[in-house]
Amino acid sequence: MICGVTEAGEGTLWNFPTGSVGHDESVKGYAVEATDGHVGTVSWASYKAGESYCVVSYRDGGQDTHHVVPAGAVESVDHERRAVTLKVTATEVKATPTHADPDAPVDWAYVDQFERGMLGGGFVWPYTDV
């Protein structure tokens, strides 16, 4: 399960795990490890409560590819190693929406479509809002 609901009723899909990123810390440039191995690096991250995500970038077939990964997919952040560990596989990361400009924020209306399962012909990412 990627997303749950806190005791206050807030969804956690778009929030980093509590205590993983401080107000003066960033994960930009960190290596990204999926459950099945290295998947890329963080090229952009947003830390706004309820709207947090990482843009994970990697080379695929000679081209740079960038995917929007909800912060709720983050298992842990190791600032000493400069690494983000995810709770999902590399295939699941590559199934998230792409982002054309890895050095710029994502349009939240686009991300909202992701949450509603409207991208990719009924795309539903592995999370539960219960």
Q: Residue-wise pLDDT tens for the chain (130 aa)?
A: 333 333 333 457 788 988 888 777 899 999 999 999 999 999 999 998 888 999 999 998 899 999 999 998 999 999 999 999 999 999 989 888 888 888 888 887 776 666 655 444 444 455 433 3
Examine residue 122 and state whether it is found in any structural domain, yes or no: no
Boundaries of domain holding 84: 31-115
- Does the residue 64 lie in any domain? yes
* pLDDT at position 111: 67
DSSP letters along 60-78, please?
A: ETTEEEEEEEEGGGEEEEE
Contacts of 77 (CB under 8 A, 6+ apart): 16, 17, 20, 21, 27, 30, 83, 84, 85
Number of domain units in the chain: 1
Separation in Å, CA 79 to CA 27, 48, 68, 71, 124: 8, 19, 21, 16, 31
- Is residue 91 domain-resident? yes
User: Any idea what the CATH number is for the domain that residue 80 is in?
Assistant: 2.30.30
Instruction: Map tokens 């409207």 to a residue.
Output: 118
Residue 3 lies in a domain: no
Which H helix or E strand runs over 113? helix 108-115
CA angle 103, 104, 105 (to 5 degrees): 135
The pLDDT value given to residue 109 = 73
pLDDT for position 86: 95
Q: Is the pTM of this model over 0.75?
A: yes
